Each structure stands twice: as structure tokens, then as C-alpha cells.
Amino acid sequence: MSEFEDIKKDFPIFNREVNSKKLTYLDSGATAQKPQSVIDAMNNVYTNTNANVHRGTYVLSAETTHLYEDVRKKCKKFLNAYHSDEIIFTKGATEGFNLLANSISKKFLKPGDEILLTEIEHHANIIPWQMVASQYDLQIKYIAVDENFSIDLEDLKEKISSKTKVVSITGESNLSGLLPDIKLIRSLVREHSDALFILDGAQLVPHRKVDVQALGIDFIIFSGHKLLGPTGIGVVWGRLDLLNQLGPVSGGGDMIEEVYYDRATWAPVPHKFEAGTPPYVEAIGLGAAIDYLENITMEKVSQHSDTLREYAQEIFTDIDRVNVIHTNEEFAGCTFSMYVDQIHATDISLMLDTYGVAVRAGHHCVQPFHRKLGIDATFRATGYIYNDENDLDIFKDALLGSIEMLG
């Protein structure tokens, strides 16, 4: 824990108080706080180099273009991608799923083909597939989750077939912290189908070292703002041979090679997927966030998550009336969704805020699974690198006080 004891000093937001209490932030599953280095990197662009990227023949444009394109190289290294051209910038993970759902369906799928998801997917990995399923007459199936909130591999084997053309699953559940065995699931998919394998890395990438080559996946999607970076930036990584086959979803400037009044040709990957002025300042902020995490090392980041999770399990499980939705798998993330008998999750969250404790209440964009469990809402505490055991102790005391107040 020693490397993380003073880490809050790098995050200016922790200098403030909330309701006259020191801020205890436990909502990193929704968005992470930003270190000063990320804020400085973005301010530097606006202050010193700001100009639109690509094709500018003057110094400012060249400097900003270099900073922007250099982030692809950082992402390549961060994910161990095969080539920096495999890195596509989007405005977030949700846009990434919409991009893939539309481009894959148009190019590779035909009526009757099946898409396989799990019961605990984020809405961003459900709704885009529902939309294209309706448009292209596709079928969606959902792999069951067992009583341990883990993916039921026998149900996977039962539902996958030669009709399965896309398997898209979470890399880390934003509800239970589940870390699926991606290599095992990928091998089962390959054994029973020729489906494309997509990984939702929105929760996984900020907390674990991800090696796309070792995992053997086809695509991964993640958000910048959950990775200490800014909002408005996300990444789609895909194998270059697949990206070369896919067509663009959005049209406009910068994604073209030649334009005529009656036709156009597309720029090479990755630019054919990035229409218009890209979020270049946000991308540069993402690059600074990756630098920050790489300086710590992702191995230490994941170790810290594991340490926090073990401590949280000790102190959360014995609180009267508190029900915790958290997998008991050996490896899981520091994500704990809970509900209190006879008290609504929103009331708990509002009361915790009076103690300066920030947690999220609702269905966390996993509404179908909440509905399956018969739960209207949960409140969720998620830890990250700037959290420690003291934060969890504060949370527990605040939770006990909130339950006493609310009755």
C-alpha cells in the first residue's frame, strides 16, 4: 500500500470538502477523478498549441497533430496491440459499441444470425445490438449468470452455435466486479463458432493489464474518463485485417480520401472511422492518463484493487440488513453493489452524501439484471488507486449511521 498512501495529492479535487466533510469518493465505476498531470496536459494544448489537427501546414497544427497521433502509439503499447493504426478514437465507449454494431452488422451479418451477450452487460453493450438486430433481422441470446454472479459456462456452451456470429461480453462487471475468464470463454467460442469476439473494457482497462494479443480477442472498447482521463474520448481497438474490411458509420471531413459530387472514397484505417474534427484535446488528456498509470504500472494498480477488495469484503459482509451483490470468485474487481432491506438505494446515497461519501444509486445501466433479481435499485461503491482502507472505514461508518437515521 505504500506507493498509494500519498496518491490523493495528485488529484486536486480531494482538496475540497463536501457537506463540511472531507470528500470520500467511491464512484470511480461511473467516472474516475483526474490527476493534475491530465488537467495540465489539456490546459497546455489550449494555452500553447491549440489548432485543428491533420493537414495543417503551420507550426501549431503540426505540434497538436503530433501530440494527438502520439496517443495512438501510447494506446498500442498500453494494450499490446499489433499496430497503432488499430486504435480508433471515439467520443466514448458507447459510441464505440454503436460503431462496431453498425459496421459489423452491415458487413458480416445476415438475417437469422445470432449475437451472444451476457445477462450482466451494460446497456451500451445491449442497446446498439438490439437496434441492429431489429434492422437486420438478427437474434440476440443472453448467457445466464449463476447464483455467484458468474457467467454460466454450461449455458454458454448450450447457446453458442454455428449461427453465433458475434460474442460481446464484459471484461469486468460494473455491478458485481466479476472478472470473467476471457481466455477460457474465447476458447469455447472458437471451439463452437466462428464468431467475432468483442470485449467491453470500460471497467477492465482502468484496473488490469490488458494484452489483446494474449487474450486472442478481435475488438476491445474502453472509455477515457474511467481511466483518469477526460470525458468525450474513448477507444476502439480492433484487428487491422477486420478494420480494413469494415465500412465507416459516420461521414464527413477527415475520413475521406477523395470526394466527388456523386461519390467518395475513404481514408485508410483508422481515419475512415473518425469523421470531422476529432476530440484531439481529450485524446491528449487520455495520453497523459495512460502515462500516469504506466508510471505506477498496471500490475501495481491491479494489486491495489485486489487489496482493497479483500478489505471491503471483510467489512461489508457483516453489516445487518445490507445485501451485497458481489461475486465470490477468487479474482474480482473492487466493485460492491448493495441494497438495504426496506430502504431505497437513493435514500441511502443521499444520506451518505451528508457524510461526504459519494456513491452511485440506481440500476447502473444494468437494469435487466436488476429486474431479474427483483431489485429496483442498488447503491454501488467502487474503489480506485486514490482510495485506501480509511475510505472504506469512513464508508462503513457512514452507512451504519445512514441506516440508523433512515430506520
Tens digits of residue pLDDT in 178-190: 999 999 999 999 9
Q: Which of 17, 126, 61 is nearest to 356 (CA)?
A: 17
- Tell me, what's the pLDDT at 299? 97
Tens digits of residue pLDDT in 191-235: 999 999 999 999 999 999 999 999 999 999 999 999 999 999 999
The share of the chain scoring above pLDDT 90, in percent, equals: 94
- Tell me, what's the pLDDT at 1? 44
Mean pLDDT over all residues of the chain?
96
> What fold does the segment set 2-27+298-406 form as a domain?
Aspartate Aminotransferase, domain 1 (3.90.1150)
Tens digits of residue pLDDT in 3-43: 787 899 999 999 999 999 999 999 999 999 999 999 999 99
- pLDDT band of residue 332 (cuts 50, 70, 90) is very high
Tens digits of residue pLDDT in 68-103: 999 999 999 999 999 999 999 999 999 999 999 999
CATH architecture for segment(s) 40-295 = 3-Layer(aba) Sandwich (3.40)
- pLDDT band of residue 307 (cuts 50, 70, 90) is very high
d(CA 384, CA 174): 13
- Give the domain ranges of the chain: 2-27+298-406, 40-295
Tens digits of residue pLDDT in 241-270: 999 999 999 999 999 999 999 999 999 999
d(CA 333, CA 32): 15
- Tell me, what's the pLDDT at 3? 72
How many C-alpha atoms does 63 have within 13 Å on its Cβ side? 11
- Tell me, what's the pLDDT at 198? 98
Q: Does 130 or 407 have the greater pLDDT score?
A: 130
Q: Cite the active site residues.
A: 365
- pLDDT band of residue 2 (cuts 50, 70, 90) is low
The share of the chain scoring above pLDDT 70, in percent, equals: 100
Is 117 within 8 Å of 129 (Cβ atoms)? yes
Three-state SS string over the chain comes to CHHHCCHHHHCHHHHCEECCEECEECECCCCCCCCHHHHHHHHHHHHHHCCCCCCCCCHHHHHHHHHHHHHHHHHHHHHCCCCHHHEEEECCHHHHHHHHHHHHHHHHCCCCCEEEEECCCCHHHCHHHHHHHHHHCCEEEEECECCCCCECHHHHHHHCCCCEEEEEEECCCCCCCECCCHHHHHHHHHHHCCCEEEEECCCCCCCCCCCHHHHCCCEEEEECHHHCCCCCCEEEEECHHHHHHCCCCCCCCCCEEEECCCCEEECCCCHHHCCCCCCHHHHHHHHHHHHHHHHHCHHHHHHHHHHHHHHHHHHHCCCCCEEEECCCCCCECCEEEEEECCECHHHHHHHHHCCCEECEEECCCCHHHHHHHCCCCEEEEECCCCCCHHHHHHHHHHHHHHHHHHC
- Tell me, what's the pLDDT at 55? 82
pTM of the shown model? 0.96
d(CA 156, CA 271): 36
Provide the residue type at 123 as one letter: H
